[in-house]
Amino acid sequence: MRHELPTLEDVARVAGVSRATVSRVVNGVRSVDPALQDVVRAAIERTGYAPNRAARSLVTRRAETVALVVSGAGDSTEAAQNAFTARVFADPFFGRVVSGVMGFLRPRSVHPVLMFAESDASRQEVLGYLRHGNADGALVVSTYAHDPLPALLAEARLPAVFFARPAGQLPVTFVDFAHRDGARLAAGQLLARGCRRVATVAGPLDIAAGQERLAGFREGMERGGQPCVPVAEGGFTLDSGARAMHRLLREHPGIDGVFAANDLMAQGVCQVLREQGRRIPQDVAVVGFDDSSVAVTCRPRLTTVRQPVEEMGAEMARLLQERIEGTRTEPTSTIFDPELVVRDSA
């Protein structure tokens, strides 16, 4: 049924050279006469040849494929898995990571294989997949703090790069963000506007990013002479942000500035504030975190701390490539710096 595909042999015949020469041209080995190269390339063009990945993989022991692993907690029931997936994809954050990753991978024509790891069985599956060389390495986005996957991967010495430093001082490669510095920037902006009664909707405090952003914000406020900041914890969702804001308002009606640990929660904060008839930023200034898509769709548009998620995704892919190629073997990490994006909410 499928049309027979041209092989190296076919190209070689058309070009009047040996298979090896064609292979060299295809793989960009330089030691081929430029004139011959042209002949070969013409033959490739004419035949519509493209290398057979399976055959190549078999001999090179490279899959030319990486696993894109979404890791998290949960059991194996279908309901739990669906809930897990829904939560992951509902966060615009994950899409930005994927976008960055694909941006790096696409020009190199390596495609990510999507895998979930939310149960013991699925973690073993990921491990097996990599160990058997079906993928050359893994890009891992963890959705919770004590994910066992990083340790498993490190122990098996499989090439992997993580989004955010995994818990437990593992000798692994990762990209991360200077959350503390970013949160300090947010504090600075609120202070500069002259806010005197500032509160914060923190992220989940069992996640490093949540802790760091809170710590950084407190530091910033303390330096500005406001050591006591009311805190309400949220879960990085719009809804949890709204609920946290309600709690804050109930106990501290005089609030004139809020830092939300991500944009989604900031959006929830804004909704509550507007419902209560408070003007943003005149009555209450709001600063978000991430600079995700909601930052510009939110009304008013959010002043926020930009986290360059796409670039971080691309860097993950780059670091993984280095590990796979063996260019660099010891664990590395790249920490990205924040940037304050001033819009309308503060």
Chain residues that interact with DNA, rule: CB under 7 A = 5, 7-9, 17-21, 23-24, 26-27, 31-33, 36, 49, 51-52, 55-56, 58-60
Q: How far apart are CA 136 and CA 158, in angstroms?
A: 8
| Cβ nearer to DNA, comparing 35 with 79 | 35
Beta bridge partners of 303: 287
Choose among DNA, a second copy, none what residue 85 binds, the Cβ cut-off being 5 to 8 Å by kind: a second copy
Per DSSP, the three-state class of 56 is helix
Please tell me whether residue 122 binds a second copy under the rule CB under 8 A.
yes
Please tell me whether residue 78 binds a second copy under the rule CB under 8 A.
yes
Residues 6+ apart with CB under 8 A from 220: 183, 184, 185, 186, 187, 188, 191
Which backbone phi and psi does 303 adopt, to 5 degrees? -80, 130
Binding span for a second copy by CB under 8 A among 92-100, 167-175, 226-234, 250-258:
92-100
Choose among DNA, a second copy, none what residue 95 binds, the Cβ cut-off being 5 to 8 Å by kind: a second copy
Choose among DNA, a second copy, none what residue 124 binds, the Cβ cut-off being 5 to 8 Å by kind: none
Beta bridge partners of 143: none
Choose among a second copy, DNA, none what residue 131 binds, the Cβ cut-off being 5 to 8 Å by kind: a second copy
Per DSSP, the three-state class of 193 is coil
Contact 50, 109 (CB under 8 A): no
Please tell me whether residue 342 binds a second copy under the rule CB under 8 A.
no
Please tell me whether residue 47 binds a second copy under the rule CB under 8 A.
no
- The interface with a second copy within residues 271-310 (CB under 8 A) comprises 271, 274-275, 292-293, 297, 299, 310
Q: How far apart are CA 266 and CA 289, in angstroms?
A: 8
